[in-house]
């Protein structure tokens, strides 16, 4: 077993046990143009959206997702894999769904989204099976579980946390792009696409955590699990 895989298995075990996660923490690695895809991972037998891949990994699947396996051009463009389709950039596509009052409003939403530099695909799998260094670790669970990201993030410096979200692009933008660009965790209430195309439950939130923060979170979770977590209502 490689050192990276062994470390990720430990991180996943601590996160799952301490946070009482109902599914696996998910490792997400975007593959830059000058990088090779990690060995040992297979593409799905059909195209999947980024959000569908995350929820498959939450259930235990490992997926190698080059551009040709990306089933959602909105999500893959937010992740830097392709240009934003014209109907998306203009607002026409999302306006047709019926949430916004005007096409200009949906165009403004897309104009302000956080997008990644050029990439050529991704690997998405349970953190416990990640034999690579992820960019982001995602968790999806009830608010009480996701709540602990706030204490973990403010334990050293204090202060308050702010999160960025919109009615669309939970998994691609909120949970992946935003944490990668800002270097801070981001919590999402979910989105229309996730709640339509995945098994995201009505009582679940999502959170993306930059991998660089995970080692410190793990050390705090070890303390919390025998300390402050025992004093809170957690069921």
What are the two backbone dihedrals, phi and then psi, of residue 92, each rounded to the nearest 5 degrees? -60, -45
pLDDT in tens, 93-150: 999 999 999 999 999 999 999 878 999 999 999 999 999 999 999 999 999 999 999 9
**Distance (Å, whole) CA 151 – CA 22:** 20
Strands 26-32 and 119-126: antiparallel
The conformation of residue 128, written as its DSSP 8-state character, comes to G
Count other C-beta atoms under 10 Å from residue 156's C-beta: 9
Contact of 172 with 50, CB cutoff 8 Å: yes
The conformation of residue 171, written as its DSSP 8-state character, comes to I
pLDDT on residue 233:
85
Strands 26-32 and 136-141: antiparallel
The conformation of residue 164, written as its DSSP 8-state character, comes to -
pLDDT on residue 6:
97
Contact of 24 with 59, CB cutoff 8 Å: yes
Tokens of 16: 């799952």
Nearest to 120, CA basis, from 221, 207, 36: 36
Which portions of the chain are predicted below pLDDT 70? none
pLDDT on residue 38:
93
Alpha-carbon distance values, 112 to 107, 108, 183 (Å): 9, 6, 18
pLDDT on residue 234:
85
3-state DSSP assignment of residue 60: coil
pLDDT on residue 1:
81
CA 53, 18, 9, 213 torsion-angle sign: positive
Give the CA-trace dihedral at 179, 214, 144, 220, to 10 degrees: -140
3-state DSSP assignment of residue 18: helix
If phi > 0 it is left, if psi is from -120 to 50 it is alpha, else beta; for residue 190 that is left
pLDDT on residue 158:
95
pTM of structure: 0.96
Query: Cβ-count burial of 144 within 10 angstroms (0-12 exposed, 13-18 middle, 19+ buried)?
Result: middle
Contact of 43 with 64, CB cutoff 8 Å: yes
């Amino acid at each position: 077993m490689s050192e990276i895989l062994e470390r990720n298995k430990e991180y996943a075990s601590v996160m799952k046990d301490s946070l009482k996660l109902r599914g696996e923490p998910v490792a997400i690695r975007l593959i830059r143009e000058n990088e090779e895809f990690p060995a040992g991972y297979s593409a799905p037998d059909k195209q999947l959206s980024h959000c569908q891949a995350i929820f498959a990994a939450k259930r235990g699947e490992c997926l190698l997702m080059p551009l040709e396996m990306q089933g959602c051009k909105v999500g893959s463009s937010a992740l830097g894999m392709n240009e934003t389709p014209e109907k998306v950039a203009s607002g026409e596509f999302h306006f047709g769904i019926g949430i916004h009052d005007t096409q200009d409003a949906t165009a403004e939403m897309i104009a302000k989204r956080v997008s990644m530099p050029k990439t050529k695909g991704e690997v998405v799998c349970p953190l416990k099976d990640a034999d690579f260094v992820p960019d982001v670790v995602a968790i999806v669970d009830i608010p009480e579980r996701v709540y602990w990201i706030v204490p973990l993030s403010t334990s050293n410096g204090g202060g308050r946390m702010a999160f960025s979200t919109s009615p669309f692009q939970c998994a691609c933008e909120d949970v992946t792009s935003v944490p990668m660009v800002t270097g801070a965790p981001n919590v999402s209430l979910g989105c229309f696409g996730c709640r339509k195309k995945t098994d995201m439950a009505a009582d679940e939130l999502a959170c993306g955590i930059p991998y660089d923060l995970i080692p410190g979170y793990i050390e705090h979770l070890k303390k919390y699990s025998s300390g402050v977590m025992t004093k809170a209502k957690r069921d």
